[in-house]
Chain A
Amino acid sequence: MSTTSPTALLPDLAAIREDFPILQASGREGVPLIYLDNAATAQRPRAVIQAMVEVYERHYANVHRGIHYLSDQSTDLYEEAREKVARMLHAPSSREIVFTTGTTMGINLLAHTWGDVNIGPGDRVLVTEMEHHANLVPWQQLVARRGGQIEAIPLDAAGMLDSDAYRRLLESSPKLVAFTAMSNVLGTINPVKEMTRMAHDAGAIVVVDAAQSVPHDSIDIRDWDVDFLVFSGHKMMGPSGIGVLYGKEALLEAMPPFLGGGNMIRRVRIDGFEPAELPAKFEAGTPPIVDAIGLGAAIDYQAMIGVERIAGHCRALLELAHATMLEIPGLRILGPDPKHKGAIVGFTLEGVHPHDIAQILDTRGIAIRAGHHCAMPLHKRLGITASSRASFYFYNTPGEVQALVNGLRATLQLFRGKKCQI
């Protein structure tokens, strides 16, 4: 979330909520849904759902293949979605936008292509202690295949990256620095531009996991100057099963293709093939056509609401959540102050296991996440095995934050109240 955006609730919140059919349906009979699991996946507005229905009902055929009316229509819509992604990221060219199935696929693609060519024995890959498994395990698999080693930038006590340690780690000239723009547990927003500049000065290539940032932030890839960036569609109101890999054109050109098959080839003989031009080179097989078009519709919707307004609203909810949750006895919020983080509140409640918290909140219609959030090394670093996480989006209300706080107090009563009787 941009720290420069004004903190302000959206005045048209009620109307915005009307755009999301699932927010009108109840989570269970008679209990209204309070959806606070947006960092796992967001909900979709009708505009996205309708755009996809319309493709299936009126425009659908395979892309880049047929010489017929529907195939042309599908291809145009699919490529238009790529243009929308490029504009959203301020990418110089849509040739730099590769559609994937999600963040995880994007990072695996990089590990198998750029990684297999560039990483070998003696090479270092730098990650952080706050990475999601998706930005850790593919690199572990890479060094297991090719050699090399992984090092992690540690956290400081506040849950921010230790910049002095980062500087020291860069002295050993890592070939790659892979980090998240926003932690999915702590909410910490990392200084992408500065970290990228430092990495480049040390001769490293930079991969940024922007899965949590893209839904909340306006991103200017030229300003950040990252080499690669990945994100998923489903966290920003797009469909599941679509994601994006951005890469600088020269780097993408120099990389070998990843999956082999149709569409990624220019010419095939029995004994070999020539890869296609960018970005088709990395899009083997029939792509997630309708999902890409749905992502395009989500980008349009986000732009219509306004990314700055989204950021401001989420910041207001975050500040309210911090203020009210910290009044609950035994509640500890993981990560830094609101001014350094996005709309994610990871927390623990003394004496109550996260799964029990989530279960009891669920009976009140409140959906939060409990567990390790695909960040086991981070939890180990924090000295806990699991945590709870409430995460907000622009359709959430201050009333829903209050319902969360009430639910947490009721949970405490169930457990600690019981303890007192014994």
Chain B
Amino acid sequence: MVVPRPLAYNRAMDHEADIYQEHVLDHYEDPYHRGPCPAPTHRHEDDNPLCGDVVQVELRVDDLGRIQEAWFQGDGCCISQASASMLVEKIEGMTLDEARKFSAEEMLRLFGPRLTPNRQKCCLLSWRVLQAASAAPLENQSGNKP
């Protein structure tokens, strides 16, 4: 008997255009807020040692705990960098609580194209870094406590 592959795998792998869609390549080539954040209040950086993808997320959070600006810097594959761009664009304007509640599933949906479990790690790197950054206020930031 032939055991069919999991559906998610086949769907994800139909065609290269499925992953490297226009909006993914757009975010990769022309990212949103790639660079250092002016006057950041929160920062975290992590990598995916398996492939060497690195992402740093910086936030500027106001007195009310709202994310006024979100920026990222990094190096890595198209998926890790494009997803970081999508994420920082998405969370600006959210409160830190809302950003923390933004789930992995929502991140994968935000990215769009279906990914195999291995590539999901690339997509979720920036999400993981954001989760950590939201709990990592920088010292010497008076009056910015969420």
Q: Which residues of A contact B (CB under 8 A)?
A: 28, 353-356, 359-360, 362-363, 370-372, 376, 379, 384-386, 414-415, 418-419, 422
Q: Which residues of A contact B15 (CB under 8 A)?
A: 363
| B145 sits at the interface (CB 8 A) | no
Q: Which residues of A contact B79 (CB under 8 A)?
A: 355-356
Q: Which residues of A contact B49 (CB under 8 A)?
A: 376
Q: Which residues of A contact B59 (CB under 8 A)?
A: none
Once the chains bind, are A414 and B20 in contact (CB under 8 Å)?
A: yes
Once the chains bind, are A353 and B77 in contact (CB under 8 Å)?
A: yes
Which residue of B is nearest A387, CB measured? B52
Q: Which residues of A contact B75 (CB under 8 A)?
A: 385
Known: A353-B77, A372-B50. 17 other contacts (CB 8 A): A28-B10, A28-B13, A353-B51, A354-B51, A354-B77, A355-B51, A355-B79, A356-B78, A362-B13, A363-B13, A363-B16, A370-B51, A371-B50, A371-B51, A386-B52, A415-B25, A418-B29
Q: A353-B78, A371-B51, A372-B50 are in contact. Are A359 and B25 (CB under 8 A)?
A: no
Q: Chain B's nearest CB lies how many Å from the CB of A201?
A: 39
Distance A419 CA – B25 CA, assembled complex (angstroms): 9
Once the chains bind, are A353 and B76 in contact (CB under 8 Å)?
A: yes
Distance A133 CA – B20 CA, assembled complex (angstroms): 32
Mask for B46-64, Cβ within 8 A of A = 1, else 0? 0001111100000000000
Q: Which residues of A contact B29 (CB under 8 A)?
A: 418-419, 422
Once the chains bind, are A355 and B119 in contact (CB under 8 Å)?
A: yes
Q: Which residues of A contact B107 (CB under 8 A)?
A: none
Q: Which residues of B contact A415 (CB under 8 A)?
A: 25, 78
Q: Which residues of A contact B119 (CB under 8 A)?
A: 355, 359
Q: Chain A's nearest CB lies how many Å from the CB of B114?
A: 13
Distance A359 CA – B51 CA, assembled complex (angstroms): 13
Which residue of A is nearest B115, CB measured? A359
Which residue of B is nearest A414, CB measured? B20
Once the chains bind, are A360 and B25 in contact (CB under 8 Å)?
A: no
Most buried by A among B15, B29, B49, B75: B29
Mask for B33-71, Cβ within 8 A of A = 1, else 0? 000000000000000011111000000000000000000
Q: Which residues of A contact B16 (CB under 8 A)?
A: 359-360, 363, 414
Once the chains bind, are A386 and B19 in contact (CB under 8 Å)?
A: no
| B122 sits at the interface (CB 8 A) | yes
Q: Which residues of A contact B78 (CB under 8 A)?
A: 353, 356, 415
Q: Which residues of A contact B25 (CB under 8 A)?
A: 414-415, 418
| B98 sits at the interface (CB 8 A) | no
Distance A287 CA – B16 CA, assembled complex (angstroms): 44
Cβ-defined partner of A355 (8 Å) among B10, B13, B30, B77: B77
29 A-B pairs with CB atoms under 8 Å apart are A28-B13, A353-B53, A353-B76, A354-B51, A355-B77, A355-B79, A359-B16, A359-B19, A359-B119, A360-B16, A363-B13, A363-B15, A363-B16, A370-B51, A371-B50, A371-B51, A372-B50, A372-B51, A372-B52, A384-B52, A385-B52, A385-B75, A386-B51, A386-B52, A414-B16, A415-B78, A418-B25, A418-B29, A419-B29
